[in-house]
């Protein structure tokens, strides 16, 4: 039910605005909120922002999330050629992840590692969602790779750059655990790839920037970036955004940015507007190869094209791949579709170039 509701939103049906201001208070108990521990009874509060079926931001700062269907990890054979395991990356923050391992009886060859960051406007989403679990498990089999999918902390409780820092921490964890974690015994950490969809695609770029600008000595080597329908923005509207200002897609984007940007920042924050980051020529020379996947029916396609063009100007190796008749994050909502199968094949081809 929730998956269908969100699919309708992505297809621009049956809604008017993601930002709701309510004059009448509602009775609610924030049992799913990340801050619910301070409440022992029902409280009277109003909703000030809402993604129907997924997220409510309440007037007292509480955030309620309503999870769609989820899938547990299983270290037993899934019947689909892979098994999965949940791991704790940093218990203090907390940051967790899920490892997907393809079943390859009789083989001991090293496997590339793909670190994946889920989408959701930095405010919703989880590697436990059924769509992500299915897509990433199948990708591990199709590409013969180990997948580490990361659950970073979410906005608005944890505004940017926390998601970037958390996902960077997942690379440190991978570097440190590769020699001791049994599920990473076959990991070839000289062939690591970063991937993610929507806000996760944005995170891929910003984590890569942190890596090329950082002084940390990883034991891992990042070979390439695979951005799926990346979520970027700027104060200056694109022509498509100007035409749709005040309507569904623009309102949705603005809401998520308003909830996730650092306090006092606007859409020219470097995490949102990739043109604003201060990156030297020498750093661009260290930037990994990139493939950008866009969908023909996706409102964010324009931003994906702009990102690929920007990288070309910086002399970064970049490839653009379009799924002409598909919508935003179709691979999550339809993980068993022919279009998703094609995407997995395209990702496999990119990964095995290295």
Catalytic residue among 166, 197, 254, 298: 298
Catalytic residue among 126, 149, 170, 198: 198
Token look-up 């940093």 returns 90
Catalytic residue among 118, 133, 205, 328: 328
Reduce the secondary structure of the chain to three states and give it as a string.
Answer: CHHHHHHHHHCCCCCCCCCCCCCCCEEECCCCCCCHHHCCCCEEECEEEEECCCEEEECCCCEEECCCCECCCCCCCCCCCEEEEEEEEECCCCEEEEEEEECCCCCCCCEEEEEEECCCCCCCCCCCEHHHHHHHHHHHHHHCCEEEEEECCCCCCCCCCHHHHHHHHHHHHHHHHCCCCHHHCCEEEEEEEEEEECHHHHHHHHHHHHHHHCCCCCCCCEEEEEEECCCCCCCCCCHHHHHCCCCHHHHHHHHHHHHHCCCCCCCCCCCCCHHHCCCCHHHHCCCCEEEEEEECCCCCHHHHHHHHHHHHHCCCCEEEEEECCCCCCHHHHCCCCHHHHHHHHHHHHHHCCC
Instruction: Tell me whether residue 165 is one of the annotated catalytic residues.
Output: no
Nearest Cα residue to 76 out of 85, 68, 67: 85
Half-sphere exposure at residue 295, Cβ-oriented, CA atoms within 13 angstroms: 23
Instruction: Tell me whether residue 198 is one of the annotated catalytic residues.
Output: yes
Write the Ramachandran bin of 218: left for phi over 0, alpha for psi from -120 to 50, otherwise beta.
Answer: beta
Instruction: Tell me whether residue 175 is one of the annotated catalytic residues.
Output: no
Burial class (CB in 10 A: 0-12, 13-18, 19+), 157: middle
Active site residue ranges:
198, 298, 328
């Amino acid at each position: 039910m929730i998956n269908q509701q969100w699919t309708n939103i992505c297809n621009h049906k049956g809604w008017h605005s993601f930002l709701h201001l309510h004059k009448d208070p509602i009775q609610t108990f924030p049992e799913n909120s990340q801050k619910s521990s301070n409440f022992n009874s029902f409280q009277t509060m109003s909703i000030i922002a809402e993604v129907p079926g997924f997220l409510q931001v309440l007037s007292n700062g509480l955030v309620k999330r309503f999870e769609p269907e989820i899938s547990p990890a299983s270290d037993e054979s899934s019947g689909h050629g892979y098994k999965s395991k949940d791991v704790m990356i940093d218990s203090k923050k907390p940051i967790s992840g899920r490892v997907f391992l393809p079943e390859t009886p009789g083989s001991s060859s090293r496997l590339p590692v793909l670190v994946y960051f889920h989408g959701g406007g930095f405010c919703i989403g989880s590697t436990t969602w059924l769509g992500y679990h299915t897509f990433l498990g199948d990708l591990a089999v199709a590409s013969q790779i180990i997948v580490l999918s990361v659950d970073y902390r979410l906005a608005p409780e944890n505004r940017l750059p926390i998601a970037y820092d958390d996902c960077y921490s997942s690379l440190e964890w991978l570097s440190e655990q590769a020699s001791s974690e049994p599920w990473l015994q076959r990991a070839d950490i000289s062939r690591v790839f970063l991937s993610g969809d929507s806000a996760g695609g944005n995170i891929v770029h910003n984590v890569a920037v942190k890596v090329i600008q950082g002084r940390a000595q990883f034991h891992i080597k990042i070979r390439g970036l695979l951005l799926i329908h990346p979520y970027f923005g700027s104060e200056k509207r694109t022509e498509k955004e100007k035409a749709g200002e005040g309507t569904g897609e623009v309102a949705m984007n603005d809401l998520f940015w308003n909830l996730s940007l650092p306090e006092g920042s606007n859409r020219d924050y470097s995490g949102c507007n990739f043109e604003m980051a201060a990156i030297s020529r020498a750093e661009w020379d260290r930037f990994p190869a990139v493939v950008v996947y866009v969908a023909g029916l996706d409102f964010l396609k324009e931003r994906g094209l702009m990102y690929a063009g920007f990288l070309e100007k910086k002399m970064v190796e970049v490839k653009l791949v379009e799924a002409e008749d598909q919508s935003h994050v179709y691979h999550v909502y339809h993980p068993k579709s022919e279009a998703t199968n094609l995407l997995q094949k395209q990702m496999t081809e990119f990964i095995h170039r290295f």
